[in-house]
Amino acid sequence: MKIDIMQDMMNTNLHYAAENKAAFAANGIYAVNVLGSPGAGKTTLLETTFHYLQGKIKSAVVEGDLATARDAARIAACGVPVIQINTEGGCHLDAKMVAKTLGGFDLPKLDLMVIENVGNLVCPAAYDLGEHEKILVMSLTEGGDKPAKYPTAFLAAAAVVLNKFDLLPYIGVDAEKMKKEILDINPQIKIFETSCREGQVFGVDKFAEYLLQKAGKNSAKA
């Protein structure tokens, strides 16, 4: 009975995920589901990325957090349309939550939809939101042992952004070993190395180009 209910929840999620997927396809939108631990730097990465994407593609963001609209305010300040979801304790976004937000966007005008999930390296990996791909953001400060200890997210993601590379000199992390461990888990994963710290930004251009290429390829408006 417990399993039946879980199956029910997953089926409901898949139903809405399919609806979202259809909405993205009908409007030529490339959708990414951005996940990672709290403080991996997801919102800062998006702010910095939108700086590069400005004038090149039309983006929008769905923001997920337990509470507050702080991240949405930061994205709105970049001139990007954004809707905040507060899960009020919920540990991940589900496809129904995202479906409810889509009516709030001018979808035919968009090329790229970024869904920033609740900060959590575990649960969000299990839920399809209708996205084309999951992108994992991880701070170097989380430590080199995390890929092996939290393999689910690394298996689910098409790309991983190793963020806060500016802190490498001050922490005991072997970045090359970390990348090897990631590729041991998922040999197909694309790895980016970034720093989004003011005055020390690097690598974000490559990540922005990646999104641009994906959204451009997908978009009927390109």
Q: Which residues bind its own copies (CB under 8 A)?
A: 1-2, 5, 8-9, 37-39, 65-68, 70-71, 89-91, 118-123, 126, 139, 141-143, 145-146, 148-152, 164, 166-167, 170-172, 197-198
Spell out the residues 6+ positions from residue 118 whose beta carbon is closer than 8 angstroms to its own: 64, 65, 66, 87, 90, 91, 92, 93, 124
* Beta strands at 82-86 and 133-139: parallel, antiparallel or unpaired: unpaired
Spell out the residues 6+ positions from residue 166 whose beta carbon is closer than 8 angstroms to its own: 195, 197, 200
Q: Are 137 and 45 in contact (CB under 8 A)?
A: yes
Q: Residue 119's Cα: distance from chain center in Å?
A: 10
CB of 70 to its own copies, least distance (A): 6
**Nearer to its own copies by C-beta: 68 or 213?**
68
CB of 126 to its own copies, least distance (A): 8
CB of 206 to its own copies, least distance (A): 23
**Nearer to its own copies by C-beta: 36 or 212?**
36
**Nearer to its own copies by C-beta: 42 or 58?**
42
Q: Are 129 and 135 in contact (CB under 8 A)?
A: no
**Nearer to its own copies by C-beta: 35 or 57?**
35
What's the burial of 217, exposed, middle or buried (CB within 10 Å: 0-12/13-18/19+)? exposed
Could you tell me the end-to-end alpha-carbon distance of the chain, in angstroms, rounded to an integer?
A: 49
CB of 192 to its own copies, least distance (A): 18
CB of 92 to its own copies, least distance (A): 8
CB of 199 to its own copies, least distance (A): 10
**Nearer to its own copies by C-beta: 143 or 216?**
143
Q: Are 165 and 134 in contact (CB under 8 A)?
A: no
**Nearer to its own copies by C-beta: 112 or 140?**
140
CB of 89 to its own copies, least distance (A): 6
**Nearer to its own copies by C-beta: 69 or 99?**
69
Question: What is the C-alpha separation between 218 and 138, in angstroms, rounded?
Answer: 26
> Rounded to the nearest 10 degrees, how much is the dihedral formed by the CA atoms of 123, 214, 31, 81?
120
